[in-house]
Amino acid sequence: MTVVLSTISAARQWMRTERSAGKTIGLVPTMGALHEGHLSLFRQARQRCDCVIASIFVNPLQFGPTEDYDHYPRNLDHDMTLAEQEKLNAIFHPEAREMYPQPPQITVSPGRFGELLCGVSRPGHFQGVATVVAKLFNILQPNVAFFGQKDAQQAIIVQRMAQDLNFPVAIEICPIVREPDGLAMSSRNQYLNAADRVRATVLYQALRRAERLIRSGVRDAIQVEREMQEVIATTPGVELDYARVVDRQSLQDVSEVTGEVLLAVAARFGRTRLIDNMIVVPEG
Ligand code: PAF
C-alpha cells in the first residue's frame, strides 16, 4: 500500500517513523506523468534502500513564463497505479502553495552550470530545479536520491549542489530508458503528434552518428557537432536548439575529444522541446 502524503508535516512524520525504525530512505523526485524511465529509477531505489518515496510535484519555479507549466501532464490516478505496482512506500504530492506559501526570496543558484546548454534557452530553469530539490532533500532527508541521466545537466547540478552545500545524501544517476526506436522516454513525449513522434527519433540518430564518428577516430569536436547539427537541422519540421560536445563533468566545450565527453542535443518538434544525450569514451 502506497501512502500519499500531501503536507510537509505529514511527509516529515513519515520520514521520522521510517528513520527511527532504522530504515534507509530512497527518494525519486518526479513531476509525475510517470513512464518507464521513472519506473527504472523506482526499481533501482528499491534495490538500494529499505523504503522508497517518490515526489510528484510540478514545480512552478522551474518553468519560464512562456513554458508549459499550466499544460504539463498531471494524472495522479495513473501515477498512483504505477506507484502501487512498483510497491513504493510513499508518494509526496504537495500543492504548490504547500511548497511555496510565499514567493521564495532565497533560492539555490547553480552558478555557471545553469547558464550552459539548456540554461541558454531556459534562463532560471536550473535555479528552480536546484531550489526544489534542496527543499525536497530538507523535507524528506533521503539517504539516496535517484535521477535520470536523460536530464544530464540537471544530474550534474544536483550532484554539485549536494557536494557544495554538504547535503548528507548520495546521488545516484540511472541510465536513459529508450523506446524501441531510440527515442528517450520523457513525460513530454505525450505532447507529440504522430508526425513529430516520428521526427523525434532524429535526436538519437544524431547522437549515434556522432558516437560512430568518434569511434572511427574523429577527434575534432566542431566536426562532430556539425554532423549532429546537420542530422537534426536538415529534418523538415524540426528546429535545432543545440548539438554540443562537452566535457562530461564540467559541461564546458571541448575542442578535441581526448577523454569522456557528453554529446548533448535539444530541438523543438512543433511546440515540444526535447533533449537527449550520450556519454562517449574515445578508444585508444
Ligand atoms: O526531472 C524532473 O522531473 C524535475 O526537474 C525534478 C528533478 C523532479 C525537479 O522538479
pLDDT of residue 283: 84
Give the mean pLDDT of 66-76. Answer: 96
Mean pLDDT confidence for 42-71: 97
**pLDDT at residue 4 in the model:** 98
* Cα–Cα distance for residue pair 223/244, rounded to 1 Å: 10
Mean of the per-residue pLDDT values of the chain: 97
Mean pLDDT throughout 149-163?
98
Q: Which domains does the chain have, with CATH numbers?
A: 3-174 (3.40.50.620), 187-280 (3.30.1300.10)
Q: Considering only CA atoms, which residue is closest to atom 2 of ligand 1?
A: 30
Cα separation of 17 and 55, whole Å? 18
Instruction: Supply the residue whose CA is at minimum distance from atom 1 of ligand 1.
Output: 30
Q: Is the pLDDT of residue 190 over 80?
A: yes
% of the chain exceeding 90 in pLDDT:
99
d(CA 250, CA 141): 27
What is the average pLDDT across 250-258? Answer: 96
The CB of 29 under 6 Å from ligand 1? The reply is: yes
Q: Quick check: 284 pLDDT over 80?
A: no
CA of residue 149 to ligand 1 center, whole Å: 12
Q: Around 171, how many Cα atoms within 13 Å sit in the side-chain half-sphere?
A: 21
H or E, element range at 241: strand 238-247
What's the average model confidence in pLDDT over 166-194? 98
Averaged pLDDT, 248-255: 96
Ligand 1 nearest atom to the CA of residue 129, by list position: 9
The per-residue pLDDT for 241 is 98
User: In this structure, which residue's CA is closest to atom 5 in ligand 1?
Assistant: 129
- pLDDT tens, position by position, 205-224: 999 999 999 999 999 999 99
* Alpha helix positions (H), 108-181: 118-121, 125-140, 152-164
- 227-230: long-range pairs with CB below 8 Å, 24+: 228/263, 228/265
- The 10s digit of each residue's pLDDT in 125-154 is 999 999 999 999 999 999 999 999 999 999
Enzyme catalytic residues:
38
On the question of pLDDT at 88 being above 80, the answer is: yes
In the three-class reduction of DSSP (H, G, I as helix; E, B as strand; rest coil), residue 155 is classed as: helix
pLDDT band at residue 75 under the 50/70/90 scheme: very high
